Structure 1
Amino acid sequence: MKPELLRYLRCPQSGQILVLETSDTITTPDLESSREIKEGWLVSEDGQHRYPIRNSIPRFVPESNYADNFGMQWNHFAKTQLDSHSGHPISAKRFWKATNWNSDEMKKCWVLDVGCGSGRFAEIALGTGAQVVALDYSSAVDACYANLKHYPNLHVVQGDIYALPFAPESFTFVYSLGVLQHTPDVSKAFAALPPLLAEEGQICVDYYEKSLKSQLLPKYWLRPLTKQMDKERLFSLVRNAVTVLLPISRTLGHIPLTGNLLKRLIPVANYEGILPLTETQLQEWALLDTFDWLSPIYDNPQTASTVRLWLEQAGLKDIEVLKAGHLVGRGRKF
């Protein structure tokens, strides 16, 4: 943890300022120092609540939680979706298409990435020169830190969206892409984010879209069973299934006129002709995203009208709800 992050952190239980404790002493670090705090404790002002810093990451959640599958997933596929690893601007295109933000305006601003995973979108935001706080509920924070720790403007936090450890109005930009539908209460999860925006701050979130077409996808037939399975066992099952199902899906996809429809009936992620991936990458992304379809405990798609309602209830202006790959909602704080 970098000392400058401390001014933005608050006790998620009491809202109090947190004091840094290291080597059995309580210290007030030089906030301009670039020194990395690798181990220690963050203690609420009244001393009632203590949170560990382990491996340079402040941790505000239990070690095991409903997002364990994501921790497993992103530590296994730590680099798969990083543009610096794939060699293609796949994550960058999705990030800029969803947010429609100006990279020059982000420079040196404090930006919050909610549900950072292994850091695919944090890498894009870091590239603008912004101070990026990458938050995740799961142990994916360890993969994110390992991938991106060479950026001096990275700050990684393990925290709960329902009890965020940040001071109000701390961030100029807040985004959460591909995450909120996997929380137990999506409305409450979104509602936690606008209070963190500074004046004129911008927010962007996206969701799976809820529609008759989406509800007919094979993953929703299988999820009542697969979400209850042991994650290691499910991963092994999916890995074996992908080797069989991906070639079938790809063959169906080549059928004139009906191919794109037919391949959707096969429960495997097939990005042939969609993403510029090598043969090896097609296999890896298929395994990653098929597991991602089937393993989450929660999967709650949303409608455009609901997304707009939440943005309006948050008192945001310049509201936009649109399809940009996923169902995107964005707005600005008055």
Structure 2
Amino acid sequence: MKGFEMDAIPFITEPVNTTQVDGLPVYNFGIAHSTNIDAATVESFGLEWKKFNHFTDREINQIASSHYFDIVKAEWTENKRVLDVGCGTGRWTRFVADRALTVDAVDPSDAVNIASKFLADHGNVRLSRATVDKLPFADYSFDFIFSLGVLHHIPDTQLAMDQCVRKLKPGGYFLVYLYYRFDNKGGCSS
């Protein structure tokens, strides 16, 4: 197990509070003052992840390796500082944590409480309840950032992507998966 506290990227704002039930601590930064958030969607996903939160390591590895992380080179994550934006229950966080130096996983929903238990055996993971427009990290902090199936739920997707990219170190990598519109028109500028 890796020592997170020694290698952690410092927060640039203080959490409102910290909670810990059965797993990892969750640093709560509050979501009430976020300007780029759909509160109904956050609540809906929080409830959904409470119901559908059972994934085995085998299932996670199989899906991640063949669908999302198959294009990610090992050197992008091995012993690197990683940020998971919209971690939900932490299934993709768990996949990356086995390789990374540290993983900061953020989500605005109550799903972080499930992630806390699911990731309790990973000492290199830190969980925060925060929004993409209020990420509590300095710019240029992470070597690799990923957000899978999340940012298209944010009212201003382009702004959310810009927020993520600002947190990348120069030369870092950003893996993003967005659902597409059925009319095949994109929602982001070039």
Q: For each residue in 1:16-62, what CA deviation from the matched residue of structure 2 results, as whole angstroms up to 9, or x when unmatched?
A: xx4xxxxxxxxxxxxxxxxxxxxxxx4xxxxxxxx101111110124
- Say if 1:184 and 1:86 are closer, same or farther in 2 by CA, change over 3 A: same
Q: Read off the aligned partner of 2:19 and give its amino acid letter.
A: R
Q: Are positions 1:189 and 2:160 aligned together? A: yes
Q: For each residue in 1:213-233, what CA deviation from the matched residue of structure 2 results, as whole angstroms up to 9, or x when unmatched?
A: x7xxxxxxxxxxxxxxxxxxx
Residue pairs, 1:13-24, within 5 angstroms:
18=14
- Say if 1:87 and 1:61 are closer, same or farther in 2 by CA, change over 3 A: closer
1:89, CA displacement in angstroms? 0.5
- Contact 2:31 2:130 (8 Å CA) reproduced: no
- Say if 1:104 and 1:83 are closer, same or farther in 2 by CA, change over 3 A: farther
Structure 1: 5+ residue runs without aligned partners?
A: 12-17, 19-41, 43-50, 215-301, 310-334
**Aligned residue in 2 for 1:91:** 64
- SS at structure 1 position matched to 2:137: coil
**Aligned residue in 1 for 2:87:** 116
**Aligned residue in 2 for 1:166:** 137
Aligned-partner Cα distance in 2 for 1:88–1:106: 15
**Aligned residue in 1 for 2:97:** 126
**Aligned residue in 2 for 1:154:** 125
**Aligned residue in 1 for 2:52:** 77
- SS at structure 2 position matched to 1:162: helix
**Aligned residue in 1 for 2:26:** 57
**Aligned residue in 2 for 1:136:** 107
- SS at structure 2 position matched to 1:194: helix
- Contact 2:26 2:128 (8 Å CA) reproduced: yes
Flag the structure with more relative contact order, 1 or 2, with Cα contacts below 8 A and sequence separation at least 6.
2
- Contact 1:5 1:155 (8 Å CA) reproduced: no
Q: For each residue in 1:276-322, what CA deviation from the matched residue of structure 2 results, as whole angstroms up to 9, or x when unmatched?
A: xxxxxxxxxxxxxxxxxxxxxxxxxx62xx5571xxxxxxxxxxxxx
Single out whichever of 157-166 and 121-130 deviates more from structure 2.
Answer: 121-130
**Aligned residue in 2 for 1:3:** 5
RMSD: 2.4
Residue pairs, 1:223-242, within 5 angstroms:
none
- Which 4+ residue blocks in structure 1 deviate beyond 6 angstroms? none
Aligned-partner Cα distance in 2 for 1:184–1:139: 20
1:3, CA displacement in angstroms? 3.2
- Say if 1:198 and 1:62 are closer, same or farther in 2 by CA, change over 3 A: closer
Q: For each residue in 1:244-301, what CA deviation from the matched residue of structure 2 results, as whole angstroms up to 9, or x when unmatched?
A: xxxxxxxxxxxxxxxxxxxxxxxxxxxxxxxxxxxxxxxxxxxxxxxxxxxxxxxxxx
1:105, CA displacement in angstroms? 4.0
Aligned-partner Cα distance in 2 for 1:205–1:87: 18
- Say if 1:204 and 1:129 are closer, same or farther in 2 by CA, change over 3 A: closer
1:185, CA displacement in angstroms? 1.5
- Contact 1:83 1:89 (8 Å CA) reproduced: no
Q: Percent sequence identity over matched residues?
A: 24
1:73, CA displacement in angstroms? 1.0
Aligned-partner Cα distance in 2 for 1:106–1:86: 20
- Contact 1:168 1:197 (8 Å CA) reproduced: yes
Aligned-partner Cα distance in 2 for 1:206–1:7: 25
Q: Read off the aligned partner of 2:11 and give its amino acid letter.
A: L
Aligned-partner Cα distance in 2 for 1:194–1:138: 22
Number of equivalences: 177
TM value normalised by structure 2: 0.82
- Say if 1:120 and 1:202 are closer, same or farther in 2 by CA, change over 3 A: same
Aligned-partner Cα distance in 2 for 1:69–1:197: 29
Aligned-partner Cα distance in 2 for 1:169–1:125: 20
The structure number with the bigger radius of gyration is 1
- Contact 1:74 1:117 (8 Å CA) reproduced: yes
